């Protein structure tokens, strides 16, 4: 990491991602000295015994000479063998770090193929945000990795800016449907097991990698402009048609507001179990049976998770302090959908939530809420109101043009708050510095924003 002078000490390794250093919000995650360019996961999962066996092949490039490097992997996974460029490598596995010593040092800029054979009974990782990672269901399993649960089921460089394509092959008991990120390339059934082979070609951070396994029926919602599907228990079909009945119209509306949908397809999963909150993953979202009750009360959550495909999955934060770039945008998408579908307007919802926020005192700024607070509801709501303030300041035309440019310029990339501030300046006729100071960098809640007298 940079020294106090801002210059990197000689020989200091790099993270291997755009963010030069370990994220201070999650200092135990992420690894130095290399960059992974592809994950290839061959997994086998026994539902009844919660037993996972994996062969992970990671393609990587070193940034400096590597005599030793580390990967993130939970201690519940036992490592049987590690190969680097085809040769056995010494390894040790303590805590949540797999330390690897190649037979020969990797030179700067050298290519690495890292193969890890491992197995175990995956369990969620406990932290300040509860339990995240691989989780058993009554019949099946799911993955809810955000922010640091990926290591519960595969070896990785668990940093949000370390994005890469994936191939995920999952073999499980044939009665179950298995879903992973990306596009299903093949499905093979042998005896009592079925292998599902998925390819996620668009770069993806580890926290969005996911597998869902359950006794699901498949329902096609649309084939154009992209395939839209649902996986759900047969008993919830009628309720699903109510609660998710406007899913396709929602996609069409967001394409108009935000730009082209960034992935080849979208899938909605509804588990037979109840879930506290829905779960985002790249190319699909997961909801609990409690979100599919025929009341349409969870439609705002349907909008929220869909919006993450643009804001979070395609355009991904470079550091966790900028979580408002995900959650504020997705929350504002809820309000935009409400107005689009005939409900309360975005302005009405912004005013309502501003009144609610005014009742509490917050000591952190939106631009740096702190690791324990980064998923607090005030971050979501204040982030959304910040976007509404920007919209009022620059006008609707410029605001939506900005969102289109944001999702286009940084498609599949990593971003910071400073990137958004810089881009927004191109869509404003007056300096936006005072707006950002009030809404992003000052803990005190500003007064509700008023429209600019002469929006351009």
Q: Are residues 23 and 130 in the same domain?
A: yes
| 159 is known to lie in a ligand binding site | no
Residue 454 in any domain: the answer is no
Give a yes or no: residue 451 inside a domain.
no
Q: Based on the domain organization, do 166 and 224 belong to the same domain?
A: no
Are residue 98 and residue 198 in the same domain, yes or no? Answer: yes
Specify burial of residue 407 (Cβ count, 10 A radius: 0-12, 13-18, 19+).
buried
- Look up the CATH number of the domain holding residue 62: 2.60.40.1730
305 is a catalytic site residue: yes
Question: Does 115 count as an annotated binding residue?
Answer: no
Looking at the structure, tell me whether residues 239 and 111 fall in a common domain.
Answer: no
| Residue among 243, 244, 285 at smallest CA distance from 263 | 285
Q: How far apart are CA 245 and CA 181, in angstroms?
A: 23
**Cα–Cα distance, 409 to 13 (Å, whole number):** 29
Residue 304 labeled ligand binder? yes
Model's pTM, two decimal places? Answer: 0.94
pLDDT tens string, the chain, 456 residues long: the values are 222 233 333 333 334 443 457 899 999 999 999 999 999 999 999 999 999 999 999 999 999 999 999 999 999 999 999 999 999 999 999 989 999 999 999 999 999 999 999 999 999 999 999 999 999 999 999 999 999 999 999 999 999 999 999 999 999 999 999 999 999 999 999 989 999 999 999 999 999 999 999 999 999 999 998 999 999 999 999 999 999 999 999 999 999 999 999 999 999 999 999 999 999 999 999 999 999 999 999 999 999 999 999 999 999 999 999 999 999 999 999 999 999 999 999 999 999 999 999 999 999 999 999 999 999 999 999 999 999 999 999 999 999 999 999 999 999 999 999 999 999 999 999 999 999 999 999 999 999 998 877 544
| Residues 408 and 263 occupy one common structural domain | no
For residue 139, give the nearest of 229, 210, 50 by alpha carbon.
50
One domain for residues 97 and 242: no
Question: CA-to-CA distance for 422 and 160, rounded, in angstroms?
Answer: 21
- Which is nearest to 388 in space by CA: 425, 335, 456? 335
CA proximity to 151, closest of 79, 213, 247, 91: 79
Closest to 208 measured CA to CA, from 163, 240, 155, 256: 163
In the Cβ-directed half-sphere of 173, how many Cα atoms lie within 13 Å? 15
Active-site residue, from 202, 299, 305, 334? 305
The residue segments making up the domain with residue 229 are 216-267+287-309
Q: CB-hemisphere CA count at 13 Å for 190?
A: 4
Question: In this structure, are residues 281 and 208 in contact, taking their beta carbons and an 8 Å threshold?
Answer: yes
Distance in angstroms (rounded) separating the CA atoms of residues 168 and 161: 20
């Amino acid at each position: 990491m940079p020294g106090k002078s801002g210059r990197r000490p000689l020989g200091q390794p790099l993270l291997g991602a755009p963010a030069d250093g370990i994220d201070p919000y999650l200092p135990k995650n992420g690894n130095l000295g290399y960059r992974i360019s592809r994950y290839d996961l061959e997994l086998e999962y026994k539902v009844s015994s919660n037993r996972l066996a994996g062969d992970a092949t990671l393609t990587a490039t070193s940034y400096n000479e590597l005599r030793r490097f580390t990967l993130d992997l939970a201690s519940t996974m036992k490592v049987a063998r590690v190969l680097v460029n085809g040769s056995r490598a010494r390894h040790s596995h303590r805590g949540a770090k797999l330390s690897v010593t190649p037979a020969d040092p990797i030179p700067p800029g050298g290519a690495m193929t890292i193969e890890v054979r491992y197995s175990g009974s995956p369990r969620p990782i406990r932290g300040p945000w509860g339990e995240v990672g691989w989780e058993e269901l009554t019949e099946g399993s799911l993955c809810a990795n955000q922010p640091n649960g990926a290591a519960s089921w595969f070896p990785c460089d668990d940093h949000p800016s370390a994005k890469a394509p994936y191939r995920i092959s999952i073999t499980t008991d044939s009665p179950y449907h298995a879903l992973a990120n990306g596009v299903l390339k093949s499905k093979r059934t042998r005896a009592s097991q079925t292998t599902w082979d998925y390819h996620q070609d668009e770069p993806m951070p580890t926290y969005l990698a996911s597998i869902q396994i359950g006794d699901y029926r498949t329902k096609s919602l649309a084939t154009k402009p992209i395939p839209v599907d649902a996986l759900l228990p047969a008993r919830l079909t009628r309720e699903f048609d109510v609660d998710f009945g406007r899913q396709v119209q929602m996609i069409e509306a967001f394409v108009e507001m935000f730009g082209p949908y960034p992935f080849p397809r979208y899938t909605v999963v509804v588990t037979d179990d109840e879930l506290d909150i829905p779960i985002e993953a790249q190319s699909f979202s997961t909801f609990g049976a409690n979100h599919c009750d025929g009341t349409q009360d969870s439609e705002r959550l349907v909008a929220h998770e869909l919006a993450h495909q643009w804001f979070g999955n395609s355009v991904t934060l470079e550091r966790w302090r900028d979580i408002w770039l995900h959650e504020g945008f997705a929350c504002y998408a809820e309000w935009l959908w409400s107005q689009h579908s005939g409900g309360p307007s975005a302005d009405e919802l912004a005013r309502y939530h501003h009144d609610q926020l005014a009742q509490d005192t917050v000591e952190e700024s939106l631009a740096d809420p702190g690791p324990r607070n980064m998923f607090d509801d005030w971050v979501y709501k204040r982030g959304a109101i910040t976007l509404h303030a920007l919209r009022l300041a620059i006008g609707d035309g410029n605001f939506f043009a900005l969102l289109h440019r944001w999702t286009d310029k940084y498609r599949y990339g990593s971003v910071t708050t400073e990137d958004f501030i810089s881009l927004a300046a191109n869509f404003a006729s007056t300096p936006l510095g005072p707006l950002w100071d009030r809404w992003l960098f000052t803990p005190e809640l500003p007064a509700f924003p008023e429209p600019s007298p002469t929006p351009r």
